[in-house]
Amino acid sequence: MTDHFEEIYATRAAEYHRMIAVEDVDGNLLPALERIAPLAGKKVLDLGSGSGRVPLLVAGRAAQVLALDLSRAMLREQKAQRDRVGGNWDLVQADMRWLPVPDRWAEVVIAGWAIGHLRGWFAADWKQQTGYVLEEMHRAVASGGAMIILETMTTGNLIPAPPTKELAEYYQWIEEYWGFSREVIQTDYQFSNVEEAVAYTEFFFGSELAAAIRRHGWARLPEWTGVWGKVV
């Protein structure tokens, strides 16, 4: 059965990109990535690339970017965004559990807001399924390179925390078993006004967050992102 997020990625890619285009208003994400791995001149592989959040951020610095996603609709939206900015990175439709790249192909491998979905989609064997992705990341990264995982540390709260106990378990696992180190950064959304904040986010985050936005008068919607890094 298709879940909420799969349905959005398949049918509402343009709306999704409209929302994330105003995320990280303070520009904290790129410096956090570069604290793990300077990107200038590097070959970057971006997994679960969606509508292009990471490639749009790093393509001007990296020597080469390959963006991979399972959703054809999201890749179509990313192509539109790539064309809008005159970018030239490559797009490929594939499952991040089985990467179509040679061993040690990339100097930086990034998985942004992607692996965590497997915690919900494969509740019974999530460690095996997410393990496939992590094994592939290790295979694809060059010696001396870096792997970076980005995941939510909640949207619509003033204090960062994993939004579910399942994600908390997954985050603990990638730290304790896989050896990733975590930093938490603020990646707030900045909308023109409260009603725009609701209009742009309710389809994705739901009515409970929409009510909180109105209650707090949030045109700037607080959000936190975990940045997990590992250098090999």
Q: Report the pLDDT value the prediction gives residue 3, as an integer from 0 to 100.
A: 83
| Residue range 10-40, pLDDT digits in tens | 999 999 999 999 999 999 999 999 999 999 9
Report whether pLDDT(1) > 90: no
Mean pLDDT of the chain: 97
Asked whether the beta carbons of 113 and 91 are under 8 A apart, the reply is: no
Q: Provide the domain limits for residue 184.
A: 4-231
Asked whether the beta carbons of 213 and 197 are under 8 A apart, the reply is: yes
- The one-letter code for the residue type at 96 is M
Q: Report the pLDDT value the prediction gives residue 12, as an integer from 0 to 100.
A: 97
Structural domain tally of the chain? Answer: 1
Strands 223-231 vs 181-186: parallel, antiparallel or unpaired: antiparallel
| Residue range 216-231, pLDDT digits in tens | 999 999 999 999 999 9
Report the distance separating Cα 4 and Cα 178, nearest Å: 29
- CATH number assigned to the domain comprising residue 182: 3.40.50.150
Query: Mean pLDDT throughout 110-130?
Result: 96
pTM of the model: 0.97
Helices (H), 47-193: 53-58, 72-85, 115-121, 126-140, 165-176
Q: Report the pLDDT value the prediction gives residue 150, as an integer from 0 to 100.
A: 98
Q: Report the pLDDT value the prediction gives residue 2, as an integer from 0 to 100.
A: 58
Q: Report the pLDDT value the prediction gives residue 195, as an integer from 0 to 100.
A: 98
Report the distance separating Cα 90 and Cα 78, nearest Å: 10
- The one-letter code for the residue type at 30 is L
- The one-letter code for the residue type at 210 is A
Q: Other C-beta atoms within 10 Å of 145: how many?
A: 21
